[in-house]
Amino acid sequence: MSPALPMNEPARPRPPSAGAERGAFDLRGARAGVVIPAYRVAPQIGRVIANLPPWISSVIVVEDRSPDDTAAIVEGLRDPRVTLLRHAENRGVGGAMKTGFAEALRQGLDVVIKMDGDDQMDPAALPALVGPLLDGRADVTKANRYSSIRSLSGMPAVRVLGNAGLAFLVKLASGYWNVFDPANGYVAIRREALERVDLPGLSNRYFFESSFLIELGIQRAVVLDVPIPARYADEHSSLSPASALLGFPPRLLVGLARRVFWRYFVHDFTALSVCLLLGVPLLAFGAVFGATEWILLRGSGQYASAGVVMIAAMPIILGAQLLLQAVTLDVQNVPREPISPPLRRER
């Protein structure tokens, strides 16, 4: 056993409040596994793995070129369920998850759960995440930290404000208007849905969660919120609010354009497509024409005629109305029919 093991005490599980329930959970023949991206989590990783319930048949740990003893501690656990994969260079949480997801598909797991290695995700909530996938009610389940005021009381204020500021943009880009905590990384997914995801195209860094949702939106996978509070201790996120606010919006705009193109112009053509085809050109024409006339008249000291004002204003009004209608139709078009069949059957 590694000398660092007793120092960090990774193998001493926190006494679970629902231990009997965790051990008794019936997958009905399905195989569930956990993927853990591991970077600088030496003090917590052993505890995370030790607290996983026995019905988790595979634990895939992706050590992302961590400078601490994370890999040595995982090896020292001697847990037969664990597959340790090591990156020669740091690829970020997205890069680690892509490696882990590929390994989960190779192992033939029916349900794949993403858990972080910092012990902020309660393993007692695993049945709540996995249950809807077994019943065929969803292709993906995500934990929702905003389910109650009590849940929010344990979340740092900076994270509450940052997540709230980006949540609307992620909903717009992904099309999952029913998801209230899109940045949450506690996720479970069915194999059938994961097989459709373009893993190489996902972001390697902290935009991974958003790019994952956008890709799921293109595939029209059903994503279900599950109320699960997060646990925060003395861990600090290396993603600063300023970096998120400056870096995420441009990427979300590109993701929105990509999702709209595939969903409403390649895979389907609906009234929403017509609203976009008419609304975007009208709004753009009105804005450009109005701005051009204003610049020309401002330099000459003249006033715009009523006709010029109407030519500029009417396309802007009509274009804005059509785009608002497109958003309304998009909200109504949230995927509701899972692409994965029910898994509650004996094998």
pLDDT in tens, 267-282: 999 999 999 999 999 9
215 and 145 share a domain? Answer: yes
The range of the structural domain enclosing residue 189 comes to 4-255
Residue 39 and residue 66 in contact, taking contact as beta carbons nearer than 8 Å: yes
Quote the tokens at residue 317: 């009004």
Mean pLDDT across the chain, nearest whole number? 87
Indicate the residue among 255, 281, 305 that finishes a domain: 255
Question: Is residue 14 over pLDDT 60?
Answer: no
Higher pLDDT: 242 or 11? It is 242
Q: Same structural domain for residues 52 and 160? A: yes
Predicted confidence band at 193 (pLDDT cuts at 50, 70, 90)?
Answer: very high
**pLDDT value of position 141:** 97
pLDDT at 346: 46
243 and 301 in a single domain? The answer is: no
- pLDDT of 36 > 90? The answer is yes
Confidence of residue 167 (pLDDT cuts 50, 70, 90): confident
Query: What is the pLDDT at residue 208?
Result: 94
Task: Give the torsion through C-alpha atoms of 111, 228, 28, 96, to 10 deg.
Answer: 20
What pTM value is reported for the model?
A: 0.85
Mean pLDDT of 85-108: 97
Question: Quick one: 153 and 251 in the same domain?
Answer: yes
Residue 2 banded pLDDT, cuts 50, 70, 90: very low
Which stretch of DSSP H or E encloses residue 38?
A: strand 32-38
Domain assignment of residue 87, yes or no? yes
DSSP string, 107-140: HT-SEEEE--TTS-S-GGGHHHHHHHHHTTS-SE
Distance (Å, whole) CA 45 – CA 61 = 9
Helices 241-261 and 208-219, packing angle to 10 deg:
20
Q: Could you tell me if residue 347 is inside a domain?
A: no
Pair (195, 124) in one structural domain = yes
Provide the percentage of residues in the chain whose pLDDT is more than 90.
70
262 within domain boundaries: no
Q: Give yes or no: residues 227 and 304 share one domain.
A: no
Instruction: Mark whether 212 and 326 lie in a shared domain.
Output: no
When divided into structural domains, the chain yields a total of 2
Domain for residue 346, yes or no? no
What was the pLDDT predicted at 245? 67
